[in-house]
Amino acid sequence: MTDHVFGYGSLAAPSGGELAALGFRPSRARRREGFVADVRGARRGWGVAMDNRVDLPGYKCYVDRDGRRPPVFVCFLDIEHAPGERVNGLCLPVTATELAALDRRERNYERTDVTCELEAAPEPGTRVWAYRGSPAGRARFAEGIAAGTAVVQAGYLEAVRAAFAALGEAEWEACAPSLDPRGLPVRALQRRELA
C-alpha cells in the first residue's frame, strides 16, 4: 500500500518550487510520484484556527513586524462535506515516518481516508489521506469569528496561491474562489516555532 496526502492548502505548497526542481510536472495522470485530483462532495474554505494567545510545546505562534504577539485566532483552510461540490488538490506520496510527522504538525486537523472520494480512482494499492478540521480546530475558528479576532496570515495565503498557480491555469481557476478570505483580515505575521 502506497500512502499519499491530498494537499488542498499549505500541503500543496511544495509544488511551486521543490517539486519542480526535482522534475515533477503536475498532471491528473495517476502516478505514484504524485498527481492532481479532485475530492468529491467537499468544499474548501476557511474553517479552522489556532489561538495565538496559547503556548503549545513544539508548536508555533505568530508575531507582528515589531515582534509582538497579537491576541488573535490565526485561520487556515479546511474542507467540509458539501454534496455535489468538489475540491482540487495535489496528491503526494508519503512514507510512514512522514505521515506521523504530518499528524503531529496538523494539530488543527484529523487525518481521514479520502481514497474512495477521489473523482477518478488512483492506481491499485494507493491510499489517499486528507486532513479535515478537527472539532477543536473548528471551534477555535468559530470563537475567533465571534470575537472579531480571526485573521489570515498573509504568508500562508500567498504560499497556497502560488502552489495552485504552479499547477496550471485550470487548477488555479478551480481553486481561486475558495481562497477568498471573505472579510477576514489578512495580516503580515511571522511564524515562530515554540520549544
Model confidence pLDDT, tens digit, residues 55-77: 998 899 999 999 999 999 999 99
3-26 pLDDT, tens digit per residue, is: 999 999 999 876 444 555 445 666
In b/e form, how buried is each residue of 60-97, taking b as 16+ CB within 10 angstroms?
Answer: ebbeeeeeeeeebbbbbbbbeeeeebbbbbbbbbbeee
Where along the chain do its domains lie?
A: 2-193
Is the domain spanning 2-193 CATH 3.10.490.10? The answer is yes
pLDDT-derived band at 133 (thresholds 50, 70, 90) equals very high
d(CA 49, CA 4): 24
Phi, psi at residue 68, to the nearest 5°? -85, 150
